[in-house]
Amino acid sequence: MIELAGLGVSMGNARLEIKAIADYVTKTNNDHGVWEVFQKFVLA
């Protein structure tokens, strides 16, 4: 799904194979990675 999405985002604590194909790697889920992506790509 990451490859087919318009913007493939991976969490920072994802497996290396997933992070390698993502367009953007955000912080981990414990470090509010979803909020980082929301601020960077939605609110910007």
Tens-place pLDDT, residues 1-44: 888 888 999 999 999 999 999 999 999 999 999 999 999 999 98
Per-residue DSSP letter, 39 = I
pLDDT of residue 27: 97
18 membership: H or E segment, kind and range: helix 16-21
Q: Which residues of 7-35 are buried (b: 16+ CB within 10 A; e: fewer)?
A: eebbbeebeeeebeebeebbeeeeeebee
pLDDT of residue 2: 82
**Is the pTM for the entire model greater than 0.85?**
no
Phi, psi of 26 (to 5 degrees): -95, -175
pLDDT of residue 6: 87
pLDDT of residue 44: 83
Across 1-44, the runs of DSSP E, i.e. the strands, are 9-10, 24-25
